[in-house]
Amino acid sequence: MQIPARANGFLILLTCLAGLILVQVNGGPVHAADDGDVDFLSDEFYDEEPETISVYDPLEPMNRAIFTFNDRAYFWVLKPVATGYAYVLPWEVRGCVSNFFNNLQEPVRFVNCLLQARFADAGRVLARFLINSTGGVFGLADPATRDLDIPPVEASLGETLGRWGIGDGFYLVMPLFGSTTLRDFGGTVVDALAMTPYYAWSDDFLVNAGIYTEKELNKISLHLGEYEDLKELSFDPYISLRNAYFQYRTRTRDQDVPFENE
């Protein structure tokens, strides 16, 4: 099924208008729930750091070259575009867009929770999806977190593979994607292309690329300035971001069942 470009524009406009109406009705802030939403600059992030972070980085020269490319792409292209995007759309609308995409990914998290035998988390993910899809108007708001105190649950195929005993492989920096590992990137591709519902709307590559671009541009617009601040505080930004990636991953995946081969 192919969605006409005009219909795409209408859907985006309708989403924004619905977001503004929702904010006015609820009279409160909209929770922006991005994957990877974390403040690397907060003191709390670095409390109780892991004793060691084992990083296998055999491709460091290539990774550093890609890191440099990503850095320049951010400052020369992504940041200016995201800044203009943020100027046009208020934070509340961008928060609604973020919530909408995050809610669409809940079925992916639900399946991965089941594959990891995290049945209580699977129940919470399912509850969040049903509550936010209805009371949150198709996921534009997050009443599950704000009103019912059901926090987001993270679960990815990369984590699932880790719990099945498949090692990281090695550290990677991917163009326009950033820090990952061979295992986690493979899991991300499967999660995004094979399981994430919004890519099923159309088999048109340009439509899917537009959806992905909107999602990532909106995410960047909600975190403008964070990368710059972290870079200013770092003697070697490559090492700092690599360590931050593994520290954040450890915290989001700190479940009852320990990882194997990590």
pLDDT at 135: 93
pLDDT at 255: 57
Q: Give, for 181, the enclosing helix (H) or strand (E).
A: strand 178-181
> And the tokens for 6?
């005009």
Q: Residue 31 corresponds to which amino acid?
A: H
pLDDT at 40: 44
Q: Residue 23 corresponds to which amino acid?
A: V
pLDDT at 250: 86
Domain boundaries, the chain: 5-252
Q: Is the pLDDT of residue 81 over 90?
A: yes
Q: Exposed, middle or buried by CB within 10 Å (0-12, 13-18, 19+), for 143?
A: middle
Higher pLDDT, 238 or 200: 238
pLDDT at 2: 45
Confidence label for 143 from pLDDT (cuts 50, 70 and 90) = very high
On whether the CB atoms of residues 59 and 182 are closer than 8 A, the answer is no
Q: Is the pLDDT of residue 14 over 90?
A: no
Q: What is the pTM of this model?
A: 0.74
DSSP 31: P
Please give the average per-residue pLDDT across 56-84, as a whole number: 96
Q: Residue 53: which of 230, 199, 189, 179 has the closest Cα?
A: 179
On whether the CB atoms of residues 170 and 55 are closer than 8 A, the answer is no
Q: Is the pLDDT of residue 12 over 50?
A: no
On whether the CB atoms of residues 153 and 109 are closer than 8 A, the answer is yes
pLDDT at 194: 59
On whether the CB atoms of residues 167 and 187 are closer than 8 A, the answer is no
Please give the average per-residue pLDDT across 156-165, as a whole number: 93
What CA–CA distance (Å, rounded) separates 193 from 128?
22
On whether the CB atoms of residues 171 and 242 are closer than 8 A, the answer is yes
On whether the CB atoms of residues 141 and 167 are closer than 8 A, the answer is no
Confidence label for 234 from pLDDT (cuts 50, 70 and 90) = confident
Q: Residue 35: beta bridge partners?
A: none
3-state helix, strand, coil in the chain (%, to 5): 65, 5, 35
Cα atoms in the Cβ-side hemisphere of radius 13 Å centred on 180:
20
Confidence label for 15 from pLDDT (cuts 50, 70 and 90) = very low
pLDDT at 112: 94
Q: Is the pLDDT of residue 7 over 90?
A: no
Q: Is the pLDDT of residue 61 over 70?
A: yes
> And the tokens for 106?
């809940």
What CA–CA distance (Å, rounded) separates 165 from 168?
10
Confidence label for 200 from pLDDT (cuts 50, 70 and 90) = low
